Structure 1
């Protein structure tokens, strides 16, 4: 049974919610929904995927998208040019949003979509030779072990720092299992929380629910703690916690829930479980993807041409009779008919005109910060649903892409082809392109321009750099811009070169996701207590988003509502679940069977639990008990 730790957690949380919700007074009015056109709010990955599934099942729909210029949401590739007459133009881009995908078992739904859309995939080099760690003004090769090397970055008390000397010389039981002192202490602190989950895939199906419950019970004890609080309570001095956060995470990211940290770390060490957070701050010392991966290191890929190729291809699969309406900002959803649960969606067009359209059901896929600004007061959302929309935590993320006249990193004395370098300077992370590599066939060749993600930041690091991005979200390159200047200075310091060695800057484009009116955050990253059930009779904030409103006709989707938030997979799974609940409300048994046959069942769900929760919230009887009148 190869599912992720997150899936185990999600299954248990939903079972818990179903048990808790039974006997709780609910304010539902069972409706007789009609099979009319379905409205989808948001043309990001979740909205497009929900549309594709509905189309396959024979349902009509339309998608309302606030952005007047593009689809895709947080799947966003910025193209500096699309000029075929320029050699190498095909590499003149960078992914502002999602950019890399591990080919591991629980990502199968993502790769099935890639196959369906026939999008071209190329290797993504998560690590590479000659990348660097530049910490405390000390430079060290990122792919070399630090075991037995002492205080490389001069952070110990004896070197003038604040980290007790003993932490720089840990008692490695097996030096081959650690690559640095910080990795050792990080792993030691999380071992008791991670180990029960690591063992779940060896449990036989008869005992899996019991084993999941025990693993979760062990972890949920600490769910109200932040990662910082957990490490301090574990006994690490504050200076050590600060050191670990700097090396293993991003500034302020240890304020996330320890639960989030644990299951995230398990995701990234398939199949064994790694302490580093590759979704956020990249693993400091992963095996080199270009110089021989360990056998159990999963292959990573990126999309040739950028991740927007996926959402563009997805939109092309949707037929014209299911329109995608750009530049339409939804601001209100109201109950139009209490008998059928029909909903009206009011939205503003680019010209300022206010329009209203009626739908039999609505799937809302926009980020929760955007949903919070939509008036849903009349449609029967529960207290915990409204609390979740308002409260569930999102992280910040900012990228700075710079177009250089030459790919200077490939012509250093120790050239870099792909991979990541990390630093404690403001830019924090540098991502070298995995496409158009000099050592591979085809353009670009020497003398042609190249795009570097010169800074990729999260949490406080992203908020600080993001504040320098004028116009809130994005910035076309002016030579005197302070964001570009600090980025270039940091790049030079990291690599031990001058700014002149990097050659001319041709263009730049920065993006801060928290400052985008259509996202208002980068991705969900829950805070302490936001996973677990916090009150007797309560679902918990996370589980509350898995169910529809009390008429069963308004469904919340998007990556934040999936246990796999911050991932492509989270958006896809959430869309599947929203469509499932649409069919449950209609009582469409044939549609449900076709959905499961054609689109499978995401690992994070058990249909029996979804059925139970849907029935409790909506008051609708099980499918087997409904009469033709009910249907």
Structure 2
């Protein structure tokens, strides 16, 4: 969209059959009775109302961008009440070590204290290359309330950044997108195709779906880049600039030998690990889980998240009221090692020999049995037979099995990539938007010949009143500048030119 706004001619090739990557919504339309929300988000599903998500919210709400503000509606992350002393009471079912309660009482009061202590020390060089496990003396199992298995090997700063994003939302809340996150990226694709955006007479740009890039190389002139695509429309085309937006897993599968990349870059492409995520949604003919809501208002708002050490991981209750009829429940939202084990049960839905989904299927059976254990002892707790009777269908997705992602989001290990200034919220949509903005600044800076201070001119252009991206450059409520530092963009462009 930024390139189209600048009047730059470009092509978009997409390996998948849809745009949006992990902004992917699966629809249950045509399976069972219709309902208002017969879908679930297989990837990104919520946006916290915090400063670092400003670029995402601006993209959705701005009249000069997507202009779909009404699609942002409340997402209820937890269901709780607060007593006169300010102590919260949570109502969702929890289950750890086969006990239907939250993690031990000694954990919650000490988590914030421990992380605050780590935060104060993390600026020391000896802490920069340590894992979460290195700085944790308590047995890791105790912290399963907020970290899935295998998460303790990631960087300490990774854990702190992730924790901080969620803590900030405690008082500010969350958004979801009505219709699913795919609505955002589908609207972006529609803006590219439009002949009236950003103004009448604009060039229509079609995204070439199911067209994977299989190779990139420098042309004989040493300036243009040749991109070879596969699929039904296999071809090789030359470009002055290529913005690669793939994850590093798919990038590694391309033939990059013709780009003459440094060994450090190639090693970086290989080395960066990605977290895993698997989600299973079950379409039920009855909203059987309303028993935990404390009152009618809470039941109408819906929402809430249960957690356990069962294979389920997290169970996400829908943040809407479709009545007591057909409803879609995210029965399992698993990360890390939990996700890998659930992924082994996910069938290949493109294989004609794959059986029709049923409650007897391996992954559905694990989820239904887990839900029964999770709800054991609660009022109106369902039996396994009840859930079999309520079951309509299900759908499961493992991002580690997706050829176009090879995982969910990047997961930095201790000391990895510590000198490339990674975005602190790169796993969110805002991280991708900020990365794109930073890349466009570098592109404009490198192509400018009007002044040595090309970055300043590029920024003035991007921050002009007529530019829909202007809000990217506004300071946040604490007076801090955005993470995309224009000086760093300039020096990146200069260094590339010298090389």
d(CA) in 2 for partners of 1:473, 1:422: 31
What is the CA-CA distance between 1:411 and the residue it aligns to? 5.1
Quote the residue 1:123 is aligned against. 74
1:426 equivalent in alignment to 2:317: no
* Contact 1:61/1:323 (<8 A) preserved: no
d(CA) in 2 for partners of 1:82, 1:572: 34
- Structure 1 gaps of 5+ residues are 1-51, 143-152, 154-167, 169-179, 197-215, 272-285, 287-296, 438-443, 533-539, 544-560, 621-631
Across the two proteins, how many residue pairs are aligned to each other?
A: 443
Q: Deviations over 1:454-510 (max 9, x none)?
A: 000000000001111022899862342111001000001111231233342111000
SS at 1:364 equivalent? coil
What is the CA-CA distance between 1:195 and the residue it aligns to? 4.2
d(CA) in 2 for partners of 1:529, 1:298: 32
Q: Deviations over 1:231-287 (max 9, x none)?
A: 14xxx3xxx22222x22210111111112112222233228xxxxxxxxxxxxxx6x
What is the CA-CA distance between 1:87 and the residue it aligns to? 5.1
Quote the residue 1:290 is aligned against. none
d(CA) in 1 for partners of 2:211, 2:262: 27
- Structure 2 gaps of 5+ residues are 81-90, 194-202, 474-480
Greater RCO, 1 or 2 (C-alpha within 8 Å, sep 6+): 1
- CA, structure 1 residues 481+224, in 2 after alignment: closer, same or farther (shift >3 Å)? same
TM-score by length of 2: 0.83
d(CA) in 1 for partners of 2:248, 2:225: 19
Correspondences of 1:218-367 after superposition (within 5 Å): 218=124, 220-232=125-137, 236=138, 240-244=139-143, 246-270=144-168, 297-319=171-193, 321-339=204-222, 341-350=223-232, 354-367=234-247
* Contact 1:431/1:456 (<8 A) preserved: yes
- CA, structure 1 residues 564+613, in 2 after alignment: closer, same or farther (shift >3 Å)? same
d(CA) in 2 for partners of 1:472, 1:366: 23
SS at 1:222 equivalent? helix
d(CA) in 2 for partners of 1:72, 1:592: 27
Could you tell me which of 456, 463, 475 is aligned with 2:340?
A: 463
1:190 equivalent in alignment to 2:115: yes
d(CA) in 2 for partners of 1:619, 1:531: 23
Correspondences of 1:589-608 after superposition (within 5 Å): 592-597=459-464, 598=467, 599=469, 600-601=472-473, 603-608=482-487
Quote the residue 1:524 is aligned against. 410
SS at 2:257 equivalent? coil
Q: Deviations over 1:515-547 (max 9, x none)?
A: 111110111111111142xxxxxxx4x45xxxx
Quote the residue 2:488 is aligned against. 609
What is the CA-CA distance between 1:445 and the residue it aligns to? 2.5
What is the CA-CA distance between 1:184 and the residue it aligns to? 2.8
SS at 2:400 equivalent? helix
What is the CA-CA distance between 1:587 and the residue it aligns to? 1.1
SS at 2:463 equivalent? helix
RMSD: 2.5
Quote the residue 1:626 is aligned against. none
d(CA) in 2 for partners of 1:487, 1:376: 42
What is the CA-CA distance between 1:354 and the residue it aligns to? 3.1
SS at 2:179 equivalent? coil
d(CA) in 1 for partners of 2:52, 2:293: 40
Quote the residue 1:114 is aligned against. 60
1:386 equivalent in alignment to 2:266: yes
Correspondences of 1:477-492 after superposition (within 5 Å): 477-492=357-372
Greater than 4 Å deviation, 4+ residue runs: 411-416, 472-476, 588-592
Quote the residue 1:494 is aligned against. 374
Q: Deviations over 1:378-429 (max 9, x none)?
A: 2243333222211112100000000001111125696862110011111011
